[in-house]
């Protein structure tokens, strides 16, 4: 077995270490989500924690790791007799691969034996293996949503339920859940973020001495893992004993009314949804006190709990920056500080408490990690907030007027003989809105999502077929229908149904898939005319938000002046696309053909990487083409190439004014897609259009009936 890197040898990740240790003391906190850039010791820290956890006693032969002192009465391997026998083993760390199936996670039932023999043949999954240990999910944001739902449900309830075609199995599943993710690869939905107890933002240190120490220790570990671990053995043993002591002290920690009031006031002040944040803060503050060796929760414990439990619960959409206003937090705690009845007055946030989130001790200075080469309070990297566009709102200043440029009266483009106009400043995006649903026609088989129709593992049943490999979802009616004609030949006796493997049919289901939404944005001078770019950016921002909610990948190609560029390669991070959009400059001619050809190349490469994910091309333009020789002809040729590739397209027509040339709609026809105006892109505009059309049709019908009755009466 590979020697793990010592937990106490980590440098500069104090918040990460503290959050893991608090969950080791009190798994009821609900786990940790570690967000950060690659190469920041996220996985190393989780694996190192496993060696610190106390060993567990299990019932001999039980596949579900039942505790001999309190075995699970519903254990599938039970009931367990009270023989007093027990086996001791180290705590496990179970890793959930990104590509794991549902059966691998929750376990699998042998449906054939269940139908033919009437027995529950259950093969435990990873949730059973992780019971009383750690379940580690690397790149949790890349898991399918239904797997994350199953995972978090089990973590919240402490049990896993497997139900298939009337056969049900339940087993205990209590574990420390740790997920890691790189936000650049996409965000988790807010509903899933809320299910993680704590969250930590990690980043590599920018201090030279600290980076040197990290490299020095890592090289020493790689050269001699056993020798390096031996040098830290005493520190590891001391920390392991402290975890055990904190676990023993935890039931005796008192959470007073003053601390409870501070917790409730803090959650209310930061407008978090629901009550889960209050519960997580209470459990975290209690674990903080136990970790510091105290039996009373103090204000400093509440403050640290808020810094770990609230930041990820404040995000309303992917464009909101993470983090917590610590000045506001301190004011809230101070305003709600009080004295418990019969207890000491809690300390304020300015006392000598752990203000940096490190495990280096509580308010009394005790209970810290062993000293390291680099002090923990100096080693903590500053949490850099990603540069994301601010949410547009009423408080936003009016869009700055665009500087005038030499434009002709038809295309808004500069004269060829005139010098190139200066690059115009990036226009701020308009306020986003709920966009209408754009879909890819046909039936796909891509990644699970919420946009276009697809054959998926989850959804409504539309038919049945013979299993292609292992049986996934049994179609009971089709199985019985296939087995029924053969019962006489199989010597059927009594009322039982003899089912063989050839009779099994699996359900064919239809659900929704996520697509690749590639935006092709016209950033030329004609788009900047009449300050249209702010409205255009607001529309694209709305479509990005819609793509986030529907679990799409997004990319962006922009074209202006003489060429087109890939502003954002296809990614799952819509906030990265929003940041690129916010800083998008405008000006120059309109090389429409170059933009379409560049988009075609991006789609060609992406089709090789992920053939199952179908693309949706969203071209945002007024349809003018003025860049290069024969610009309009070349643009139409490029559009026909995309149509020949079978690319689903939508053109967002940005043309404004009383005189309209209709070039965007002509482009949509060449692409074989549809065209919508900025106003028609709004979901409420579609609803209003349907209502108006329906009312008009009803009035015409009513009028015709009235005229008919009047004619018959005459």
> Known catalytic residues?
276
Which backbone phi and psi does 107 adopt, to 5 degrees?
110, 170
Q: Would the CA dihedral through 340, 346, 349, 350 be positive or negative?
A: positive
Q: Which of these, 432, 610, 578, 598, lies nearest to 513 by C-alpha position? A: 610
C-alpha span between 295 and 343 (Å, rounded): 12
Strands 134-138 and 176-181: parallel
Q: In what order do the strands lie in the sheet with 648-653?
A: 563-571, 553-560, 516-522, 615-621, 648-653, 674-677
Q: Where do we find the tokens 């890592």?
A: 218
C-alpha span between 562 and 626 (Å, rounded): 10
C-alpha span between 514 and 450 (Å, rounded): 6
CB atoms within 10 A of CB 98: 13
Which H/E stretch holds residue 679? Answer: none
The answer to whether the bond into 218 is cis (omega within 30° of 0) is no
Strands 167-172 and 159-164: antiparallel
Q: Where do we find the tokens 């040729």?
A: 637
Q: Would the CA dihedral through 39, 44, 46, 52 be positive or negative?
A: negative
Q: The tokens of 598 are what?
A: 């560049």
CB 652 within 8 A of CB 676: yes
Q: Where do we find the tokens 């276009």?
A: 452
CA torsion, ordered 421, 432, 192, 449, to nearest 10 deg: -80
Q: The tokens of 215 are what?
A: 């490299």
Q: How far is CA 305 from CA 192, 254, 322, in A?
A: 20, 16, 16
C-alpha span between 322 and 181 (Å, rounded): 14
Q: Where do we find the tokens 């510091």?
A: 292
CA torsion, ordered 567, 572, 578, 584, to nearest 10 deg: 0
Which CB contacts under 8 angstroms, 24+ apart, belong to 264-267?
Answer: 265/332, 265/333, 265/335, 265/336, 266/302, 266/306, 266/310, 266/329, 266/332, 266/333, 266/336, 267/310
Which H/E stretch holds residue 200? Answer: strand 198-202
The answer to whether the bond into 79 is cis (omega within 30° of 0) is yes
């Amino acid at each position: 077995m590979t020697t793990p890197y010592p937990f106490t040898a980590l440098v500069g990740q104090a918040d990460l270490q503290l959050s893991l240790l608090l969950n080791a003391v009190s798994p009821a906190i609900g786990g940790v989500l570690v967000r950060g850039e690659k190469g920041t010791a996220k996985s190393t820290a989780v694996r190192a924690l496993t060696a610190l956890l106390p060993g567990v006693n299990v019932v001999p032969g039980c596949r579900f790791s039942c505790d001999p002192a309190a075995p699970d009465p519903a254990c599938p391997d039970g009931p367990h007799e009270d023989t007093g026998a027990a086996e001791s083993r180290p705590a496990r760390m179970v890793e959930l691969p990104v590509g794991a199936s549902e059966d691998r996670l929750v376990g699998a039932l042998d449906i054939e034996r269940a139908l033919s023999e009437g027995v529950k043949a259950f093969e435990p999954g990873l949730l059973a293996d992780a019971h009383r240990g750690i379940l580690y999910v690397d790149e949790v944001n890349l898991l399918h949503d239904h797997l994350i739902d199953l995972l978090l449900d089990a973590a919240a309830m402490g049990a896993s339920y497997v139900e298939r075609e009337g056969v049900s199995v339940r087993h205990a599943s209590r574990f420390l859940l740790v997920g890691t993710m790189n936000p650049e690869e996409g965000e988790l939905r807010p509903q899933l973020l809320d299910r993680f107890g704590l969250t930590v933002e990690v980043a590599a240190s920018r201090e030279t001495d600290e980076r040197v120490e990290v490299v020095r220790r890592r090289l020493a570990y790689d050269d001699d893992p056993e020798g390096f671990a031996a040098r830290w053995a005493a520190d590891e043993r001391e920390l392991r004993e402290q975890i055990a002591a904190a676990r023993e002290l935890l039931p005796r920690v008192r959470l007073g009314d003053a601390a409870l009031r501070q917790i409730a006031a803090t959650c209310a002040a930061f407008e978090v949804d629901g009550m889960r944040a209050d519960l997580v803060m209470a459990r975290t503050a209690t674990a903080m006190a136990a970790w510091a060796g105290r039996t009373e929760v103090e204000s400093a414990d509440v403050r640290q709990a808020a810094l770990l439990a609230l930041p990820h619960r404040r995000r309303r959409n992917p464009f909101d920056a993470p983090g917590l206003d610590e000045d506001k937090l301190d004011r809230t705690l101070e305003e709600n500080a009080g004295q418990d009845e019969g207890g000491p007055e809690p300390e304020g946030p300015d006392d000598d408490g752990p203000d940096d989130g490190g495990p280096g001790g509580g308010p009394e200075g005790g209970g810290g990690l062993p000293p390291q080469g680099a002090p923990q309070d100096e080693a903590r990297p500053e949490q850099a907030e990603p540069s994301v566009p601010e949410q547009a709102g009423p408080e936003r200043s009016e869009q700055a007027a665009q500087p005038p440029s030499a434009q002709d009266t038809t295309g808004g483009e500069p004269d060829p003989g005139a010098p190139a106009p200066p690059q115009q400043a990036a226009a701020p995006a308009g306020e986003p809105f709920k966009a209408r649903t754009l879909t890819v026609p046909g039936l796909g088989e891509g990644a699970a999502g919420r946009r276009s129709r697809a054959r998926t593992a989850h959804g409504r049943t539309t038919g049945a077929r013979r299993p292609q490999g292992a049986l996934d979802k049994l179609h009971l009616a089709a199985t019985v229908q296939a087995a029924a004609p053969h019962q006489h030949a199989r010597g059927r006796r009594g009322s039982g149904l003899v089912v063989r493997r050839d009779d099994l049919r699996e359900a064919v289901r239809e659900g929704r898939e996520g697509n690749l939404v590639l935006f092709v944005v016209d950033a030329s001078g004609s788009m900047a005319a009449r300050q249209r770019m702010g409205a255009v950016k607001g529309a694209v921002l709305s479509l990005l938000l819609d793509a986030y909610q529907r679990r799409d990948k997004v990319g962006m190609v922009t074209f202006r002046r003489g060429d087109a560029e890939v502003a954002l390669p296809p990614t799952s991070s819509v906030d990265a696309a929003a940041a690129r959009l916010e800083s998008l400059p405008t000006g120059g001619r309109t090389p429409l053909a170059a933009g379409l050809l560049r988009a075609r190349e991006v789609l060609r490469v992406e089709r090789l990487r992920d053939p199952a994910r179908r693309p949706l091309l969203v071209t945002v333009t007024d349809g003018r083409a003025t860049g290069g020789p024969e610009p309009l002809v070349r643009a139409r040729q490029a559009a026909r190439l995309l149509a020949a590739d079978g690319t689903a397209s939508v053109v967002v027509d940005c043309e404004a004014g009383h005189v309209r040339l209709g070039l965007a709609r002509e482009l949509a026809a060449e692409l074989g897609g549809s065209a919508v105006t900025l106003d028609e892109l709004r979901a409420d505009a579609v609803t209003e259009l349907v209502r108006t059309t329906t009312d008009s049709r009803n009035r015409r019908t009513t009028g015709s009936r009235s005229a008919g009755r009047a004619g018959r009466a005459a």
